[in-house]
Structure 1
């Protein structure tokens, strides 16, 4: 059977560059609409991590016995490691013009993609739940505001931003990046010079192998869990954008801000005794310059709410992709809006019910990396080693295409990866595997989840029908060329 058109809306005139509400969702983006700029990727992802959630990661190290210095070392090492995987995913958006999880149908099948979609959807919703907790607890502690009211208001703002869509998210992130930057610089100078106050800790901590690996894992998972997002925000880049430029821009942006804020969070924990990220930002900032902390609190909340919009937007794409894999979904604004509203209700209700942000950060990030590490391994090996960026894009939009309904190679590799992780996991108050117990609590599950599925998938792909895929890619190219011509304004 011939593959269906990759995008029913490709035959209509191109949408305005920045419409009030984005027209596309799961669609392939025609060449005529590729208006993104690679230089915008760095500030976009910098701001994505330039907020209290990142500061809260720095609070984790001291709670597991690490000193300020060792928390910084473990945190920065984990961030650099995790960002490497995230940044390589970014090239897929520009090359293919697709949301990230639609592309995963090539590895897992049209319906089989539902399996990794569970992990990605949990990621997006979990981040927004924890963000709601961080903002609610912080504003209640600082100003006495009701956490339920705060949760509803920030949920509404994030929802609206997600509904407006891709270009408005980029605009909001760029503006907040430039507005926030000087305030954080002043705060950091104040901390370094001693103007932020604080006192040397009575129990400064030190080095712990277990604590180091926990901090490393939490930090690495922070950006690895961004992997299902990245192509969603690079798919409007021109197709001929050099891959190294995209990788470099995303890497510096996504790693620089946490490499800055994680040590800052660790300083809050060790020198100020802070257990709430927003509270630390507020108190330290006001000690440096009157009202600086208050201004930073507002900017931090705005940045975090914008990031919640990011999570809602990508969560919508995962949810609609999952539904579409069972029953075709119209590519309409109404479907986008309804999906975002459903997710907003879920994260808002859960967010206002939780009360311990630091525990939520630690547990949520560890659980998410267990689910996403095997997916990112399979996806990157397929893109860079097996298929080398060549896909029959039209076939990703039909169960009868060359990738089929169930991609047994990807599913087997993913399943084996998750199962092999289980003996190595170590999540406080949740589960500890026998190997982690034997190693004194050291959590090697994410490493296992990256290595094992990659090897299994490479072995399984030795029997791929390269000639059949080549013919499908040629047919798909003709379909896309025709769609591009019809999409010309």
Structure 2
């Protein structure tokens, strides 16, 4: 009996097995991933109807499609810079992103950052599944509860099998969706899917005028930035199987181009769907355009869009599993077995399902609010992590010491914790949380009010958290750390390697 059968999982072909690694170090001899896979992987990461929905935010606040596309593109590219630099840590460290954060926050102190990232992973899937259930209900009349259960279960199974199967699923999903979204884009350019002329006149008279607004532009920029900054805690989870000598420049470029190009395309597509078709649901809009080209094509586009989106649900579940195991391990030492990953995935999926069934309301409004809140939680962490990696320790870490509270990074690292908290607190007066459904601000900080609702909290958080951490790190004894790093032997990695090879 093999490992899959032992834990009750089906076989998925002779070459695909349940991944044996989770929060442990990936030895050099098991680094089998290729640099060429990173660009397409992260291109699909943004190439779906969820990103199209982000393009609805600007028009919903009175911003024209052209301005929405520009704001979204600038935001996506800004956020992708942070995402890509985090991704370069994967092959150099061979670790999940949040394990590496123990250097800044401590073996137990990292729980602070884990709460923020777990909120992001679970929240993303709640919004993901809510958009799927809303869209399939409107297009096919499917029962939302059944759709939610099937979508979450499919993502859970894929995340249990892990890295290799997920990369394959992303490749096939991209092959299936790329020609369809290209067709929809071309059709929209040539006016396919638009209402008849008389109906367009009536819609134009009833619809509010779309133009330019600094508040809407800044909000769309912030949402675009937060969307790809949100990938920061993920990226090295999927680049850690690359060889250690992988070119950092080429990897950063591959991640940046993949994520930025697809993100810009999909946000622009969403903006034009919102302006020209008055769309408020991405799947419904795709169905409308497809059906205008050929009867039944709309249903095909919707079905393949949802199928191609399931790997994204798995992406969030997989990284949430790594985060949860890291959190548990930070409190009580665990062996990251296959059973542990299955139990974590099941628990996370159950929480997502409960939240989806409990939260009702406008999916786009939920998306808008969630992305803004997510940015607030992630910005202080990404600033601390990148400043430490590129400017303080410069990629030099004693990896075995990540796995013990008695190592050189200790149980608690006050520098990272203080920098995160100070940065977050500094952002609060600049917060601007807008409820698109109610068309009113949920929370407006003092300085956000002075700025007329323009949200620059993310910029404040980056500068303050990064700056505070850099100043506090001036007292680090990096020479002593370097002596420890130079004294590490290959055998120091043996316990982790042996544990994961056994799998149980």
Q: TM-score by structure 2 length?
A: 0.91
Q: Deviations over 1:305-350 (max 9, x none)?
A: 2101000000000011011000011120011010111110111111
The aligned residue for residue 93 of structure 1 is 90
Deviation of 1:477 (Å): 4.3
Tell me, yes or no, if structure 1 residue 439 matches structure 2 residue 451. yes
Q: Deviation per CA, 1:345-375: give whole Å up to 9, x if none.
A: 1111111332321111011111111010010
Contact 2:193–2:277 (Cα < 8 Å) also in 1: no
Q: What do residues 217-254 of structure 1 show as CA deviations (whole Å, max 9, x unaligned)?
A: 01110000110000000000000000011111111111
State the SS of the aligned residue for 1:133: helix
1:302 is aligned, of 303, 307, 317, to 307
How many residues are treated as equivalent by the alignment?
474
Deviation, 1:286, is 1.7
Q: Is the 8 A contact 1:84 1:251 kept in 2?
A: yes
- The structural deviation recorded for 1:196 is 2.9
Equivalence for 1:194: 191
The reply to whether residue 397 of structure 1 matches residue 409 of structure 2 is no
Bigger CA drift: 471-480 or 364-373? 471-480
Give the direction of change, closer, same or farther, for the CA distance of 1:122–1:18 in structure 2 (3 Å limit). farther
- Name the structure 2 match of 1:453: 465
Q: CA 1:470–1:230 in 2, change beyond 3 Å: closer, same or farther? A: same
What does residue 485 of structure 2 align with?
A: 473
268-277 or 371-380, larger mean C-alpha shift? 268-277
Contact kept? 1:45, 1:250, Cα under 8 Å: yes
The separation in 2 between residues aligned to 1:196 and 1:239, in whole angstroms, is 49
Contact between 1:183 and 1:292, CA under 8 Å: does it hold in 2? no
2:146 matched to which residue of 1? 149
3-state SS in 2 of match to 1:189: helix
Select 1:213's aligned residue among 213, 218, 222.
218
The equivalent position to 2:384 in structure 1, one of 354, 362, 378, is 378
Match of 2:56 among 55, 59, 67: 59
String of CA shifts for 1:24-81, please: whole Å, max 9, x gaps: 1111000010000111011111111111110110000011110111111111110010
Given that 1:17 and 1:33 are in contact with CA atoms closer than 8 Å, whether structure 2 keeps it comes out as no
Residue in 2 aligned with 1:283?
Answer: 288
Q: For 1:488 and 1:142, locate their aligned partners in 2 and report how far apart those are by CA, in whole Å.
A: 46
Matches within 5 A, 1:21-420: 21-198=18-195, 199=200, 201-202=204-205, 203-353=208-358, 354-420=360-426
How far did residue 483 of structure 1 move? Answer: 6.8
Q: Distance in 1 between matches of 2:489 and 2:446?
A: 50
Contact kept in structure 2, 1:32 and 1:484, CA below 8 Å: no
Paired residues of 1:229 and 1:314 also in contact (CA < 8 A) = yes
Maintained 8 Å contact 1:402/1:468: no
Partner of 1:7: none
Structure 1 residue 283: deviation in Å? 0.8
Q: Which deviations, in whole Å up to 9, do the C-alpha atoms of 1:437-463 show, x marking residues without a partner?
A: 111111111111111111111100101
d(CA) in 2 for partners of 1:255 and 1:239? 25
Compute the displacement of 1:396 (Å): 0.3
User: Comparing 19-28 with 66-75, which one deviates more in the overlay?
Assistant: 19-28
Separation in 1 of the partners of 2:158 and 2:238? 14
Partner of 1:9: none
Q: Is the 8 A contact 2:97 2:234 kept in 1?
A: yes
Pair 1:426 & 2:426 matched: no
The superposition leaves residues 266-314 of structure 1 with CA deviations (integer Å, 9 ceiling, x where unpaired) of: 1111111111111111111221233332222112112222101000000
The answer as to whether partners of 2:24 and 2:496 remain within 8 angstroms in 1 is no
Q: Which moved more, 1:309-318 or 1:46-55?
A: 46-55
Offset at 1:204? 4.0
CA-based RMSD of the aligned residues comes to 1.8
Note if contact 1:133-1:356 (Cα within 8 Å) is conserved in structure 2. no
- Structure 2: tracts of 5 or more residues without a match: 1-12, 436-441
Q: SS at the partner of 2:455? A: coil
> In structure 1, how many angstroms separate the alpha carbons of the residues matched to 2:296 and 2:265?
22
CA–CA distance in 2 between the matches of 1:43 and 1:35? 17
Distance 2:78 2:14 in 1: 35
CA contact (8 A) 1:68 1:204 kept: no
**Does the C-alpha gap of structure 1 residues 314 and 263 become closer, same or farther in structure 2, counting only changes over 3 Å?**
same
